[in-house]
C-alpha cells in the first residue's frame, strides 16, 4: 500500500509549510499574548484559497481532497493553533452543511463569499444547556408564513464575534427531540435580532474569537433553512462533526509536533553536567516516546482523511483520530515543558503556549468521552 | 509583454550539513527548492506581464520539473525543461550557450529575467554570459523594474547605494531580492500547474553543437573540492585601549568587512 | 611541498596568526601554533607573527640561484577598477597577488585602467605592483558601463594575449567579467578566495560554493586568458613604492556614445537599510555592560557609521532599554551577518545560539573570562564606554 502523498499534495505541503513558517509563526506569540485575532493572516490565507478549500470549484472554492485539507490544517496548527481553528471552523464546520446539504440556491448564494473569504464563517450548536447533549438545543425556530422567528442563544462559538455568516442549529419541534432540529443560515451584517454577547477569555487558543451569540425575535426567510426541510438538522450536525474531527485530531498532531521540534533543537544546545542534554538516555527515551506517539496519531488522521476521500465509512477512524490526536497533544506538550525545565514555564518560550492550546482539543467538537462512545457504537454495531 | 524567466532547481544550501567524519556534504534529505533569486525574477515577471505571457525555462535533470511546476503554480503561463545528458557537467559558459540556444528556439520575447546568483554554484555568471551570447543589453543586481513604452528603468543595487539604469527592450536583467512581499502559489494555481504540459527540449531540439556544451567543452573544470575546516579560535588584541581600537579598525578594513567606495 | 613552516621554539602561542589565515589552517596545540593541510602557502601569517616564528621555506637568498628571465608577453593582468576617480581597494590587493603569480611564471604584471582622466591613477598602480598600465582615457569611461568596458577590454586582451586576468568580485567586476569571458570564449571562475600557480603552470583557482559549505578548486586548462573574479579583503596589497618604474600603454578606445545600450540616469548613495535584523550584514549589539538605556546611543552611533543595524541581548530588552525586535538570541532572532560586534554582552548560551553563525565576531567586554570571547574572532578586554568612542573616532577619520 502506498502511504505517500501524491505530487500535488507534496507541493501543497511545501507551499503551506513555507507560508506558515514566514507569515504565521512569527506572529503566533503576540496573537496569543495580546491576545489578538489573526485578521491579516486570515486575509492572506483567503488570497491563497485556503478559506475555500472545502468548497467546490464551481462556487469559487479550491475543492481540495480531504488529505490535502488535513495537510494544510497540520502545517497551520504547527505555527499557530489560534489561526488554525479560525480557519478550520470556517472551512470544516461552517461550509459543510451548505456544501453537502444545501439547496442549489443556497450554494450559489452563500458559497462564493465563503470561498473568497469575503465572509468569515462559524457554526453554532453549543448552548448553556446543550454541550455533549447536543440534542438538548433550546433555541427555537417558529414558522411564521414565509419566515422563521428565532429565539435563543449560543455560547462558546468559534469566530462567533467576528463571523459574517453563521450556520445555527435550532429546534422547530422540541418534542421531536433529535428529529426536530433544523439548521439556519444567518448573514450577520445588519441582521435584526442578532447580537454578539460575551467574548470569552480562555486558557488557550487565545487569539481565536470565542463568543456568545444571541437571537431575539430574529426573523429569517424560509430560504435560509439549510436543505429546505425541517428535521434534518441532527443528521447534518452529526455529519459536520464526523467530518470536522479529523481536523481537530491533526490540530493536536500539529501542536504536538511544534512542541517536539522545539525540544529537538533545545536538547542539542542545552548543556548540564558537562554534556548536551541529548546525550542523556532519559532524554532520548522521552524524545522517542513523543515521536512515536505523534507519528501514530498522524497516521490515524491521514487514514481517516483517505477513507473519506475514497467515499468509505470513516466515522470510527475519524473519532479515533481526534481521541488519540488530542491525547498525544496533551502528553507531548507536557513532556516538552519538562524537557525545557524552567525555560518551558516562561512566556519567552512557546512551550507553555502549546501546553495551554492543547487542552481544548480534548473538549471541543465532541469531547474525548463522546469520541469513545462514537467508537464503541461503531465497534458494537447498531442497537447494542 | 512576453517575458522568459530562467530558473534553477537547487539544494537548499542554508540547510546543508557536513558529515563530521568524512568532511563531505550530506546531500540526502536536503530539500530541493527554486533558487531564491530566480523566484524574485519570476515574481517581477508576473507583475510586469500584463496581457503578455510568462514562460519559465530551466536547464536541469528531469527532477527540475518540480521547480517548473512551482513556477506554473505561481502563475507562469508556460514551462520548458531543457534536459539532455549532453549538458551534464557544463560550466557557466557551456550553460549560457545551451540556455541561449533554447531561448532562440522559444523566441517571441521582449524581456529575459534571471535570478542574479544560484545558491549552489554561487557564480552569478550565467545571466551576463547569456546576455552576451544573445547580444542583449544587460543590467545586473536589479531590485525594481519600471517599464515606460519600449524602455526599461531598472533600479540597480550598488555596494553603497543604488543607480537607475535605462535600457531599451529587448534586454536581460538579473534580479536580487526586492522589498516586495513574497508571492505564494494559490491552491488553484497548484492544481492547474499539474494539469499543464511541460515541454522538454533536448540538445538536438535547440541545434546546439556538442563543442559548445557539456563537461568536455567547458573551459573551466573542477579539479578538487573539499570542505573548509571549522573556524578556529580567536585572538584577544593586546595593547592599550587606544592601540587596539585602531588595530581593530585596520583589520576590519583590510578584510574589507568595512568597505569604502 | 609546503612552503610555510612554524619554528616551534620561537612560537609563544599568542595566536595572532590564527585569525589572519583565510584558510583556518592554523591551530594551537599545547601552547604552540601548528599548521594543518589547509595551508595555502600564502604568507599572511609570516608577517603578522610578533616573534618571527613563521618562515617561508626555500626563500631565494640574494645572489644564490639564478633568477629566471622575465619574458615579454603572456602577462598577468588585473582589472584596475576605479570609482569616483579612485582605484578600488580590491584592485590594489589583486595587484599584490598578481605580482606573486607573475613572479612564479616569470612574466610581467599589467593593470587595465579605464577612466575619464588619468590623474595619478596609473602612477598609483605602478607603485603598487604593475609593470605596465594599459590605459583607456575618455570622458565616456568615467562611470562604469557594461558594453563600453567589455568592448575595450576584450579588444585589449585579443591584442596583447595575457595568460591570466583577475577582477575584483565587486558589483562592477561580476557584471563585467562574465560578459568578457563569453565574448572571448574563455573560462571564468567567480569570487575566488585563493589563486596560485600550480606545478603545471596553470592558475589554481579556489572558491566557495554551496553557500560556503564547500571549497572548489578550478582550472582553465586550455582556454586563454584564465580569468577570475576575486573576493575583496583576502589578498594583500603591496606597500606602495613610489620609486617603482613602469610603462603606460594607451589602448584603443574608439567608442561612440551609441555603443552603450544602457544609460545611467541617476546614482543615489544610500546606507543599506534592511527590513529585518536577519538580513543585516553588520550588527552592533549591546548588553548589560551598557549600564543603562543611554548606552545604546553609542551603539547606534557605531552601527550608523558602519552602515549596520542595532542588536541587543535579552537582558536589556527585558529591562526596557530597547525594543524587542532588536533581540538576538534563542528567544529573539537568529542572525548571520558578515560582522557582529558584541558590546558589554557576556555571551551566555541563549545569546550565542542566536549569533554564533556570524562570519566575523568582535567582542568588547570588561571581563576577560566572559564566554563571548570563546567564540569571538577578535576580542578587546576593556570598558566599552571607552573603547566604542575610540572606534567611532577611528571610523570618522
List of domains in chain B: 3-212 (3.40.50.620)
Q: Is residue C69 part of a domain?
A: no
Cα(C253)–Cα(C149) distance, rounded to whole angstroms? 9
Is residue C325 very low, low, confident or very high in pLDDT (cuts 50, 70, 90)? confident
The reply to whether residue A349 touches residue C353, judged by beta carbons under 8 angstroms, is no
Range of the domain at C52: 4-56
Q: What would the mean pLDDT of C309-316 be, rounded to a whole number?
A: 94
- The verdict on residue A2 lying in a domain is no
Query: In this predicted structure, what is the pLDDT of residue C357?
Result: 84
Per-residue pLDDT of A8-25, as tens digits, reads: 999 999 999 999 999 999
Gap between the Cα atoms of C253 and C91, Å rounded: 21
| Closest residue to B187, CB basis, from A18, A22, A50 | A50
Query: SS3 string of chain A?
Result: CCCCCCHHHHHHHHHHHHHHHHHHHHHHHHHHHCCCCCHHHHHHHHHHCHHHCCCCHHHCCCCCCHHHHHHHHHHHHHHCHHHHHHHHHHHHHHHHHHHHHCCHHHHHHHHHHHHHCCCCEEEECCECCECCCHHHCCCEEEEECCEEEEEEEEEEEECCCCCCEEEEEEECCHHHHHHHEEEEEEECCCCCCEEEEEECCCCCCCCCCEEEEEEEEEEEEHHHECCCCCCCHHHHHHHHHHHHHHHHHHHHHHHHHHHHHHHHHHHHHCEECCEEHHHCHHHHHHHHHHHHHHHHHHHHHHHHHHHHHCCCCCHHHHHHHHHHHHHHHHHHHHHHHHHHCHHHHCCCCCHHHHHHHHHHHHCCCCCHHHHHHHHHHHHHCCCC
CA of B190 to nearest chain A CA: how many angstroms apart? 7
Nearest to C331 among A269, A270, A349 (CB): A349
Q: Look at chain A and report how many structural domains it folds into.
A: 3
Spell out which residues of chain C touch residue A271, defining contact as CB-CB under 8 Å. Answer: 349
CB distance C293 to C312 below 8 Å? no
C349 neighbourhood in chain A, CB within 8 Å: 269-271
Question: Domain check: are C51 and C114 in the same one?
Answer: no
3-state secondary structure chain C: CCCEEECCCCCCCCCCCCCCCCCCCEEEECCEEEECCCCCCCCHHHHHCCCCCEEECCCCCCCCCCCCCCCCCCCEEEECCEECCEECHHHHHHHHHHHHHHHHHCCCEEEEEEECCCCCHHHHHHHCCCCEEEEEECHHHCCCCHHHHHHHHHHHHHHHCCCEEEEECCCCHHHHHHHHHHHHCCCEEEEECEEEECCCCCEEEEEEEHHHCEEEEEEECCCCCEEEEECCCCCCCCCCCCCCCCEEEECCCCCCHHHCCEEEEEEEECCCCCCCHHHCCEEEEECHHHCCCCHHHHHHHHHHHHCCEEEECHHHHHCCCCCHHHEECCCCECCCCCEEEEECCCCCHHHHHHHCCCCEEEEEECCCCCHHHHCCCEEEECCHHHHHHHHHHHHHC
- A97 and A130 both lie in a single domain: no
Q: Are residues C221 and C304 in the same domain?
A: no
> Chain C residues with CB inside 8 Å of B96's CB?
182
- Residue A1 domain-assigned (yes or no): no
Residues C219 and C91 in one domain: yes
CB contact under 8 A, C208 and B122: yes
Residue C245 in any domain: the answer is: yes
CATH of the domain at A99: 1.10.540.10
CA nearest to C357 within chain B: B231
Number of domains in chain C: 3
Least Cα separation, residue A129 to chain B (angstroms): 40
Same domain, C221 and C108: yes
Chain B residues in contact with C84 (beta carbon < 8 A):
261
CB contact under 8 A, A348 and C353: no
Write the pLDDT tens digit of every residue in C26-52: 888 888 888 887 777 777 788 778 888
Looking at the partner chain, which of A269, A348, A349 has a beta carbon nearest the beta carbon of C353? A269
Q: Are strands C360-365 and C339-343 parallel, antiparallel or unpaired?
A: parallel
Q: Which of residues 313-372 of A touch B (CB under 8 A)?
A: none
Residues A139-170 have pLDDT tens digits of 999 999 999 999 999 999 999 999 999 999 99
Catalytic residue among A331, A362, A365, A369: A365
User: A269 and C314: CB-CB below 8 Å?
Assistant: no
Q: Is the pLDDT of residue B9 over 90?
A: yes
Q: What is chain B's alpha carbon radius of gyration, rounded to the nearest angstrom? A: 21
The domain that contains A278 carries what CATH number? 1.20.140.10
* Residue C239 sits in the same domain as residue C98: yes
Supply the pLDDT for residue A383: 64
Residues C83 and C32 placed together within one structural domain of the fold: no
CATH of the domain at C308: 3.40.50.1220
Chains that touch A (3 or more CB pairs under 8 A): B, C
Q: Is residue A216 part of a domain?
A: yes
Residue B191: its pLDDT value, please?
95
Distance (Å, whole) CA A181 – CA A168: 10
How close is the nearest chain C Cα to the Cα of A342, in Å? 14
Residues in A whose CB is inside 8 Å of some CB of C read 269-271, 348-349
Do A94 and A134 sit in the same domain of this protein? no
Q: Which residues of A touch C353 (CB under 8 A)?
A: 269
- Nearest CB among B66, B73, B187 relative to A64 is that of B187
Do A376 and A240 share a domain, yes or no?
yes
User: Chain B residues with CB inside 8 Å of A64's CB?
Assistant: 187
Q: Are residues A370 and A265 in the same domain?
A: yes
Mean pLDDT of B96-124: 94
Summarize pLDDT for A258-304 with one digit per residue, the tens.
999 999 999 998 989 999 999 999 999 999 999 999 999 999 999 99
C-alpha to C-alpha distance for C34 and C5, rounded to whole angstroms: 9
Are both A257 and A342 inside the same structural domain?
yes
Q: What is the pLDDT of residue B14?
A: 73
Which of these three, A116, A131, A150, is where a domain ends?
A: A116
Q: Is A15 touching B (CB cutoff 8 A)? A: yes
Nearest CA in chain C to B14: C211
- In this predicted structure, the answer to whether residue C60 has a pLDDT above a threshold of 50 is no
Q: Is the pLDDT of residue C275 over 80?
A: no
Inside any domain, residue A79: yes
Q: How confident is the model at residue C64 (pLDDT cuts 50, 70, 90)?
A: very low
Rounded to whole angstroms, how far apart are CA atoms A160 and A210?
6
Dihedral angle at the C-alpha atoms of C292, C293, C298, C300, nearest 10 degrees? Answer: 150
- Residue C66: predicted pLDDT: 52
Question: What is the ipTM score, two decimals?
Answer: 0.91
Size of interface A-C (CB pairs under 8 A): 8
User: What residues have CB less than 8 Å from C312, skipping those under 6 apart?
Assistant: C285, C286, C287, C296, C321, C322, C326, C327, C328, C332
Q: Is residue C31 located within the same domain as residue C118?
A: no
Share of chain C above pLDDT 70, in %: 96
Q: Do B256 and C233 touch (CB under 8 A)?
A: yes
Cross-chain residue pair B186–A53, CB shorter than 8 Å: no
If you average pLDDT over each of B155-159, B181-185, C7-11, C131-135, which comes out highest? C131-135
CATH number of the domain residue C85 falls in: 3.40.50.620
For residue A33, pLDDT over 60 is answered with yes
| A98 and A139 fall within a common domain | no
A268 in contact with chain B, both atoms CB, cutoff 8 A: no
Taking residues B187-206, what's their average pLDDT? 95
The pLDDT tens digits for C179-233 are 999 999 999 999 999 999 999 999 999 998 887 788 899 999 999 999 999 999 8
DSSP B224: E
Distance (Å, rounded) from C-alpha B117 to C-alpha B102?
20
Confidence band, pLDDT 50/70/90 cuts, at residue C76: very high
Q: Catalytic annotation on A271?
A: no
Query: Looking at beta carbons, which residues of chain B come within 8 Å of A62?
Result: 186-188, 191
Q: Is residue C65 part of a domain?
A: no
Q: What integer pLDDT is reported at residue A155 of this predicted model?
A: 97
Average pLDDT in the C12-32 region? 79
At residue A102, the pLDDT reads 97
The C-alpha of B194 sits at a distance from chain C's nearest C-alpha, in angstroms, of 30
Q: Is the pLDDT of residue C258 over 80?
A: no
Both A224 and A291 in a single domain?
no
Look at residue B23 in the predicted model and tell me its pLDDT.
61
Which chain A residue lies closest to C327 (C-alpha atoms)? A348
Please, which residues 149-208 of chain C have a Cβ atom closer than 8 Å to chain B?
Answer: 150, 170-171, 174-175, 177-179, 181-183, 185-191, 204, 207-208
Whether A54 and A189 share a structural domain: no
Q: What is the domain range of residue A279?
A: 234-380
Pair (C175, C126) in one structural domain: yes
Chain C residues within 8 A of A270 when measuring between CB atoms: 349
CB contact set of B134 (below 8 Å; sequence gap of 6+): B100, B103, B104, B112, B172
What are the chain C neighbours of A348 within 8 Å (beta carbons)? 314, 331
A186 shares a domain with A56? no
- Whether residues C282 and C240 fall in one domain: no
Measured between beta carbons, the chain B residues lying within 8 angstroms of C16 are 235
Question: Is C183 inside any structural domain?
Answer: yes
Q: Point out the domain boundary residue: A89, A116, A143.
A: A116
- Residue C187 sits in the same domain as residue C93: yes
Q: Do C121 and C23 belong together in one domain?
A: no
Q: Do A245 and A175 share a domain, yes or no?
A: no
**What's the CATH number where A143 sits?**
2.40.110.10
Nearest to C265 among B18, B164, B226 (CB): B164
Given a cut of 60, whether residue C95 has pLDDT beyond it is yes
Name the C residues in 346-375 with CB < 8 Å from any A CB.
349, 353
For residue A268, give the chain C residue with the closest CA: C353
Chain-centre distance for alpha carbon A240: 11
Quick check: C261 and B25 CB within 8 A? no
**pLDDT reported for residue A366:** 95
Q: Is the per-residue pLDDT at C72 higher than 70?
A: yes
Nearest-CA distance A24 → chain B (Å):
13
**CB-based contact B184 A18, cutoff 8 Å:** yes
pLDDT in tens, A79-110: 999 999 999 999 999 999 999 999 999 999 99
The pLDDT tens digits for C158-175 are 999 999 999 999 999 999
| Mean pLDDT (chain B, rounded) | 91
The model's pLDDT over B53-94, given as tens digits with 9 standing for 90+, comes to: 999 999 999 999 999 999 999 999 999 999 999 999 899 999
pLDDT of residue B153: 95
Angle (nearest 5°) at CA A188 between A185 and A192: 100
Q: Considering chain A, what is the average pLDDT of its residues?
A: 96
Tell me which chain C residue has its CA closest to the CA of residue A347.
Answer: C331
pLDDT at C21: 76
- In whole angstroms, give the CA distance from residue C291 to residue C139: 55
Amino acid at each position: 500500500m502506498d502511504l505517500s502523498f501524491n505530487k500535488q499534495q507534496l507541493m501543497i505541503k511545501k507551499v503551506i509549510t513555507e507560508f506558515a513558517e514566514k507569515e504565521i509563526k512569527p506572529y503566533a506569540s503576540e496573537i496569543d499574548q495580546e491576545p489578538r485575532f489573526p485578521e491579516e493572516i486570515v486575509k492572506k490565507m483567503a488570497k491563497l484559497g485556503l478559506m475555500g478549500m472545502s468548497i467546490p470549484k464551481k462556487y469559487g472554492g479550491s475543492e481540495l481532497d480531504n488529505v490535502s485539507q488535513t495537510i494544510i490544517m497540520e502545517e497551520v496548527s504547527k505555527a499557530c493553533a489560534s489561526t488554525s481553528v479560525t480557519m478550520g471552523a470556517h472551512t470544516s464546520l461552517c461550509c459543510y452543511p451548505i456544501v453537502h446539504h444545501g439547496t442549489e440556491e443556497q450554494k450559489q448564494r452563500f458559497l462564493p463569499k465563503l470561498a473568497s473569504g469575503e465572509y468569515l464563517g462559524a457554526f453554532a450548536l453549543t448552548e448553556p444547556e446543550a454541550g455533549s447533549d447536543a440534542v438538548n438545543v433550546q433555541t427555537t425556530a417558529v414558522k411564521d408564513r414565509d419566515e422563521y422567528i428565532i429565539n435563543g442563544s449560543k455560547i462558546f462559538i468559534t469566530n462567533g464575534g467576528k463571523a459574517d455568516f453563521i450556520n445555527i442549529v435550532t429546534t422547530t419541534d422540541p418534542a421531536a427531540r433529535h428529529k426536530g432540529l433544523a439548521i439556519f443560515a444567518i448573514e450577520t451584517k445588519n441582521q435584526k435580532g442578532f447580537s454578539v454577547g460575551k467574548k470569552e477569555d480562555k486558557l488557550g487558543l487565545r487569539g481565536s474569537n470565542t463568543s456568545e451569540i444571541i437571537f431575539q425575535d430574529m426573523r429569517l426567510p424560509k430560504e435560509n433553512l439549510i436543505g429546505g426541510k425541517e428535521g434534518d438538522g441532527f443528521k447534518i450536525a452529526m455529519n459536520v462533526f464526523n467530518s470536522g474531527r479529523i481536523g481537530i485530531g491533526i490540530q493536536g498532531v500539529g501542536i504536538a509536533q511544534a512542541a517536539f521540534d522545539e525540544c529537538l533543537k533545545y536538547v542539542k544546545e542545552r548543556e548540564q553536567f558537562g554534556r548536551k542534554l541529548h546525550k542523556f538516555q532519559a532524554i532520548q527515551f522521552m524524545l522517542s516516546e513523543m515521536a512515536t506517539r505523534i507519528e501514530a496519531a498522524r497516521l490515524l488522521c491521514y487514514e481517516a482523511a483517505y477513507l473519506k476521500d475514497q467515499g468509505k465509512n470513516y466515522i470510527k477512524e475519524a473519532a479515533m483520530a481526534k481521541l488519540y490526536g488530542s491525547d498525544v497533544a496533551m502528553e507531548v506538550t507536557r513532556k516538552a515543558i519538562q524537557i525545557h525545565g524552567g525555560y518551558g514555564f516562561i512566556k519567552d518560550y512557546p512551550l507553555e503556549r502549546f501546553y495551554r492550546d492543547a487542552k481544548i482539543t480534548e473538549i471541543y467538537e465532541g469531547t474525548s468521552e463522546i469520541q469513545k462512545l462514537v467508537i464503541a457504537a461503531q465497534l458494537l454495531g447498531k442497537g447494542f | 509583454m512576453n517575458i522568459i524567466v530562467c530558473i534553477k532547481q537547487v539544494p537548499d544550501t542554508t540547510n546543508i550539513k557536513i558529515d563530521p567524519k568524512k568532511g563531505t556534504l550530506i546531500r540526502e534529505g536536503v530539500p530541493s527548492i527554486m533558487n531564491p533569486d530566480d523566484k524574485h525574477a519570476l515574481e517581477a515577471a508576473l507583475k510586469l506581464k500584463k496581457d503578455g505571457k510568462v514562460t519559465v525555462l530551466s536547464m536541469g535533470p528531469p527532477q527540475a520539473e518540480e521547480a517548473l511546476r512551482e513556477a506554473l503554480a505561481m502563475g507562469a503561463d508556460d514551462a520548458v525543461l531543457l534536459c539532455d545528458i549532453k549538458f551534464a557537467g557544463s560550466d557557466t559558459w557551456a550553460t549560457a550557450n545551451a540556455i541561449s540556444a533554447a531561448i532562440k528556439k522559444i523566441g517571441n520575447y521582449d524581456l529575459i529575467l534571471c535570478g542574479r546568483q544560484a545558491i549552489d554554484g554561487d557564480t552569478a555568471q550565467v545571466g551576463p554570459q547569456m546576455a552576451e551570447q544573445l547580444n542583449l543589453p544587460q543590467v545586473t543586481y536589479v531590485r525594481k523594474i519600471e517599464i515606460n513604452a519600449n524602455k526599461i528603468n531598472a533600479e540597480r543595487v550598488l555596494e553603497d547605494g543604488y543607480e537607475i539604469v535605462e535600457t531599451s527592450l529587448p534586454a536581460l536583467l538579473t534580479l536580487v531580492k526586492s522589498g516586495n512581499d513574497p508571492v505564494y502559489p494559490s491552491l488553484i494555481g497548484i492544481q492547474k500547474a499539474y494539469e499543464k504540459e511541460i515541454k522538454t527540449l533536448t540538445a538536438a531540439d535547440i541545434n546546439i553543437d556538442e563543442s559548445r556544451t557539456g563537461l568536455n567543452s567547458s573551459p573551466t573544470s573542477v579539479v578538487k573540492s573539499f570542505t573548509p575546516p571549522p573556524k578556529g579560535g580567536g585572538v584577544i588584541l593586546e595593547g592599550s585601549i587606544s592601540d587596539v581600537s585602531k588595530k581593530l579598525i585596520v583589520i576590519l578594513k583590510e578584510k574589507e568587512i568595512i568597505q569604502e567606495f | 611541498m609546503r612552503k610555510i613552516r612554524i619554528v616551534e621554539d620561537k612560537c609563544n602561542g599568542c595566536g595572532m596568526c590564527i585569525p589572519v589565515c583565510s584558510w583556518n589552517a592554523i591551530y594551537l596545540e599545547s601552547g604552540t601554533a601548528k599548521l594543518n593541510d589547509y595551508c595555502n602557502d600564502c604568507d599572511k601569517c609570516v608577517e603578522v607573527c610578533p616573534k618571527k616564528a613563521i618562515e617561508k621555506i626555500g626563500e631565494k637568498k640574494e645572489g644564490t640561484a639564478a633568477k629566471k628571465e622575465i619574458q615579454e608577453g603572456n602577462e598577468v593582468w588585473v582589472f584596475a577598477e576605479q570609482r569616483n576617480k579612485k582605484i578600488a581597494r580590491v584592485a590594489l590587493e589583486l595587484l599584490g597577488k598578481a605580482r606573486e603569480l607573475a613572479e612564479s611564471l616569470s612574466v610581467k604584471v599589467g593593470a587595465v585602467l579605464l577612466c575619464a582622466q588619468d590623474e595619478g591613477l596609473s602612477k598609483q598602480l605602478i607603485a603598487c605592483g604593475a609593470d605596465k598600465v594599459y590605459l583607456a582615457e575618455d570622458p565616456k569611461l568615467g562611470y562604469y558601463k557594461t558594453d563600453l568596458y567589455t568592448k575595450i577590454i576584450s579588444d585589449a586582451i585579443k591584442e596583447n594575449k595575457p595568460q591570466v586576468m583577475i577582477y575584483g568580485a565587486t558589483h562592477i567586476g561580476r557584471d563585467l567579467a562574465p560578459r568578457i569571458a563569453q565574448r572571448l570564449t574563455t573560462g571564468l571562475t567567480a569570487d575566488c578566495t585563493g589563486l596560485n600557480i600550480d606545478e603545471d603552470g596553470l592558475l589554481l583557482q579556489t572558491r566557495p560554493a554551496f553557500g560556503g559549505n564547500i571549497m572548489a578548486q578550478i582550472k582553465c586548462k586550455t582556454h586563454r586568458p584564465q580569468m577570475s573574479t576575486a573576493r575583496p579583503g583576502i589578498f594583500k596589497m603591496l606597500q606602495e613604492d613610489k620609486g617603482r618604474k613602469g610603462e603606460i600603454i594607451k589602448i584603443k578606445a574608439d567608442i561612440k556614445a551609441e555603443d552603450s545600450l544602457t544609460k545611467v540616469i541617476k546614482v543615489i548613495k544610500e546606507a543599506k537599510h534592511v527590513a529585518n535584523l536577519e538580513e543585516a550584514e553588520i550588527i552592533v549589539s549591546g548588553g548589560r555592560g551598557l549600564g543603562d538605556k543611554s548606552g545604546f546611543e553609542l551603539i547606534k552611533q557605531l552601527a550608523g557609521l558602519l552602515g549596520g543595524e542595532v542588536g541587543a541581548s535579552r537582558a536589556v530588552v527585558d529591562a526596557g532599554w530597547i525594543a524587542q525586535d532588536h533581540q538576538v538570541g534563542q528567544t529573539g532572532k537568529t542572525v548571520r551577518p558578515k560582522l557582529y560586534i558584541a558590546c558589554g554582552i557576556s555571551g551566555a548560551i541563549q545569546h550565542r545560539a542566536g549569533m554564533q553563525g556570524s562570519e566575523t565576531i568582535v567582542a568588547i567586554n570588561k571581563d576577560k573570562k566572559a564566554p563571548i570571547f570563546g567564540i569571538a574572532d577578535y576580542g578587546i578586554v576593556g570598558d566599552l564606554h571607552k573603547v566604542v568612542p575610540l572606534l567611532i573616532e577611528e571610523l570618522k577619520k
